[in-house]
Chain A
Amino acid sequence: MAAEGLSARDWGTADRPTRTRRRHTALYSAVAMALVLGAFVGVLATRKSALDKQARSPLLGEQAPDIIGDSITNGAPFSLMSLRGRYVLVNFFASWCEPCQEEQPQLVAFDHEPSGRTAVVGVLFSDTPGPAKAFLAANGGDWPVLADPEGQLALNYGVRGPPESYLVNPNGVVLAKFIGGVSDAGLDRLVAEAQQGGGQ
């Protein structure tokens, strides 16, 4: 079956005694392509899906950008510096964001820890004070919340979409970034690790 249709003519060597060797371009190219594409397929096969990306941030290990403004809850002026000495969770959220609703109880738990070493600060992402206050009333949360009408606070932290949170240590250095909801237990573990490591 494989030899059907092939004849000496197709080989083209009958008339040319000088050409004794056939070129193997196709074979070499095929082998080269196989190697390159094999590596490529290997990468595709082992790549984790896009949704699995861990939270990286250029801010990790750097000083947290300052947050200054008036809280929408009581109008009082607020500055992140005022929370130095505590582990602060900077939480970017929105009233229309479902995972934010789900994580709110975890944030409340983190904020209300008896040790008093923890605090939460909320920053609105692409939202207005009206719906935000309703959100807080419905889901809890009595910490300072700042509106960010021009999005510059979110830009300074490199926030892409709510919910995103940053854990800041008592010296104002960013320890971790969370994309998606946080859990109180996870935060506590990180705080404990940081305390042991830094002896704070």
Chain B
Amino acid sequence: MNALVGRDAVLLGFLAALGGVVTLGFGLRRHQDHLLRQARTYAWLILGAAVLAVAMMERALLTYDFSLTYVADNGGRQVPVIFTISTLWGALAGSILLWTLILAGYTAAVVLKFRRRAVDPLVAWATLVMYSVCAFFFALMLFSGANPFTKVPGTPPANGPGPNPLLQDHPLMIIHPPMLYLGYVGFTVPFAFAVAALVTGRLGEGWLIETRRWTLLAWGFLTVGIVLGAWWSYEVLGWGGFWAWDPVENAAFLPWLCGTAFIHSVMVQERRGMLRVWNLSLVLATFCLTILGTFLTRSGVIDSVHAFTESDVGPWILTFFVIVLAVSIGLIGWRGDRLRSPGAIDSPFSREGAFLANNLLFAAFAFVVLLGTVFPLLIEAINGQQITIGGPYFNTMTEPIVLCLLFLMAIAPALPWRKASGELMRKRLLFPAWTAGLTVVACVAFGLRGGVDTLACFGLGAFAAAAAVRQLVLATRRSLADGAGPWRGIVGRANGGMIVHIGVVIIAVAFAASQAYGHRTEIPMRAGQSAKVSGHTITFLGIHTEQHSNRTSLVADVRIDGGKVYTPQISDYPADPGGGIGTPSVRSTPVDDVYLTIASPPQTPADPTVIGVTVQPLIIWLWIGGGFMAFGTLLAMLPGRRRRPVLPASAPAHEEAPVRPRRLPAGASAAVETP
């Protein structure tokens, strides 16, 4: 029954999406407003269908309905309930179902938010694009190998193996994928509006303001998803690291980079009316990279520890990628030149110049990550050579970019628009520069020694953080002076952005510190023995076996610094033979992390146990920095200080003046575009 209703729900969703596309198509072609209004109902059908399908799948999982192939392959009675629920996104077909649900949610939200302007061609085109993407994902589940509702041939088994063991031993697995998908899928909305803007030729500020919060929301979720992924990798995988430049990690990072470039570059467009086509290209690129990432991780084309097992889903996603790419490039090529705004940037030493440099650096960053990820594929196709591109390449190439970005983060908030003067910059950068200098001196004075890049990272990080703090202090003072209380000083785009910058600095510094000053050793130990590692005392107390509902674990008891006992383990999941799955145990303090694993269990009772110990400083600040970024994004989405509308002074007098009201009244976008 679950399979039947589930499959019907997917079919319903597909037909509703198609119906929406057709209705909007006709409505736009024939200028029939009633069709455009009517098309709104399809969004609710799509959402209902997706919710129903997910409900059926969860029901099947929770009632151990092993007649469904997906449940038979991934479910299991021995799995704790919370992980049974998260099994929905633990394998390929289920993850597509989750993606579709989130996409349906965003589609309905867009239709709801813009319901009063459904007859506006811009909104209609955007909705059409969203329906098309929905149609694709429903079709993927119906027609390709990723159907979650196929039934097991013959009699269903009595029990299943449960999800991959790595996916059922940490609660982070429960929120990491949904957060990531909320981010990925969220970028469909600005993409849809970008396509709509290009098709209708309305490149003025209207679409931009409409989608700013959506883009920021998606970007925020993606940031959280990526940080959670790194945290999960650290806590679960047992290798002591958190970022391996794995193709799947890069697949999530690429849209993030483009999205970040867009969020910043858009400010030049708002202020000066320039870079419109470039910003559109960034939005389109972000979505294309999302689909490319989906393809790379699901098609088996690149080795990865994350990659889902391959299925014939690959060609489908590749085809969709080609369509999305063709639409994006085609629209830019066709319309881009006609819709470019006139205008000029006076001086490279200005905030506009800083944003241009920012664009450059992020584009370079994305290019390096993309090249490194796909280059092995390309080389093998060209001359058959097999190479690996791993951490060393990415670290070497991206380090200078990150250092430049830190520098930019410091000077950009201080740079004025149009043109900077030496005197102004000296005044504004005094405090941040001295903070940076004294930080470097303090580090060296305290005995820190390392590469120039590490110390430069600390110095530039302090530079950027001090600049951000200065902005926040100024904003708070101004807000107090205005009589609005101190809170206005931290909400709003600029101030929220400063908090996000502080988060980025924290992450960069923590990253550099843990890379430069981390130590890893393996020590064979017998019960009662102690060892000293990087200033910590590790006492091995003994080893014992534990039995759980879904696994048998060999547990080592280790006391750190005479305090609490930590328990690294190696677990055997009966469903997954072929070696134990290691689980680390970590003691986190604001200063450093002591990371324990069982590197090698004893072969005989008389043998020592080899304990792996990794000590890395400042790891916990990576997650705290991520928290800052999330918090800052939230603050940035709240309305800030009321701004006077600014005329782009570089444009000719008769150019439309972008008005920036906080909330557009119904029908106003048409007024803004064609006065």
Contact indicator A43/B329 (Cβ below 8 Å): no
B381/A12 in contact, CB under 8 A: no
Q: Given A2-B199, A7-B674, A24-B337, is A98 in contact with B318 using a C-beta cutoff of 8 Å? A: no
Q: A171-182 interface mask toward B, CB cutoff 8 Å, 1 = contact, 0 = none?
A: 000000000000
Among the 9-residue stretches B93-101, B109-117, B299-307, B658-666, the one with 4 or more Cβ atoms under 8 Å from chain A is B299-307
Identify which of A23, A43, A97 contacts B378 (C-beta below 8 A): A43
Contact of A189 with B by CB under 8 A: no
A1 to B32, CA, bound (A): 12
Report the separation of the CA atoms of residues A190 and B203 in the bound assembly, to the nearest whole angstrom.
Answer: 67
A81 CB, min distance to chain B CBs, angstroms: 30
Q: Which residues of A contact B656 (CB under 8 A)?
A: 9
Alpha-carbon separation in the docked complex, A128 to B314 (Å)? 40
Q: Are B201 and A2 in contact (CB under 8 A)?
A: yes
Whether B578 contacts A98 by the Cβ 8 Å rule is yes
Residue A44 is within 8 A (CB to CB) of chain B in the complex: yes
Contact B337 A41 (CB under 8 A): no
Interface residues of B in 184-211 (CB under 8 A from A): 199-203
What's the Cα separation between A97 and B579 when bound, in Å? 9
| A42, B314: Cα distance in complex, Å | 14
Are A43 and B321 in touch, CB under 8 angstroms?
no
A30-B336, A47-B377 in contact; A37/B329 too (CB < 8 A)? yes
Bound complex: CA A29 to CA B336 (Å): 10
* Interface residue ranges of B281-321 to A (CB < 8 Å): 295, 299-303, 307, 310, 314-315, 318, 321
Flag whether B386 is at the interface (Cβ < 8 A): yes
Q: Which residues of chain A are within 8 angstroms of B381 by Cβ–Cβ distance?
A: 43, 46-47
Which of B143-151, B338-346, B613-621 has 4 or more CB atoms under 8 Å from chain A?
B338-346
A111 to B608, CA, bound (A): 38
Which residues of chain B from 510 to 530 have any CB-CB distance to chain A below 8 Å in the complex?
A: none
Q: Which residues on the A side are within 8 Å of B453 (C-beta)?
A: none
User: Which of A7, A30, A50 is B332 in contact with, Cβ under 8 Å?
Assistant: A30
- A1 to B337, Cβ gap below 8 A? no
Flag whether B28 is at the interface (Cβ < 8 A). yes
> A31 near B: Cβ within 8 Å?
yes
Is B73 on the interface with A (CB-CB < 8 A)? no
Docked Cα-Cα span, A71 to B84, in Å, equals 47
The distance in angstroms between the C-alpha atoms of A49 and B386, with both chains bound, is 14
Find chain A residues with CB under 8 A from B332 CB.
26, 29-30
17 A-B pairs with C-beta separation under 8 A: A4-B201, A4-B202, A5-B201, A5-B673, A9-B656, A12-B340, A25-B340, A30-B336, A34-B326, A34-B333, A37-B325, A44-B301, A44-B374, A49-B301, A50-B307, A96-B578, A98-B577
A-B contacts besides A44-B374, A98-B578, 9 pairs, CB < 8 Å: A1-B121, A4-B202, A12-B655, A24-B337, A26-B335, A29-B332, A40-B374, A45-B315, A50-B300
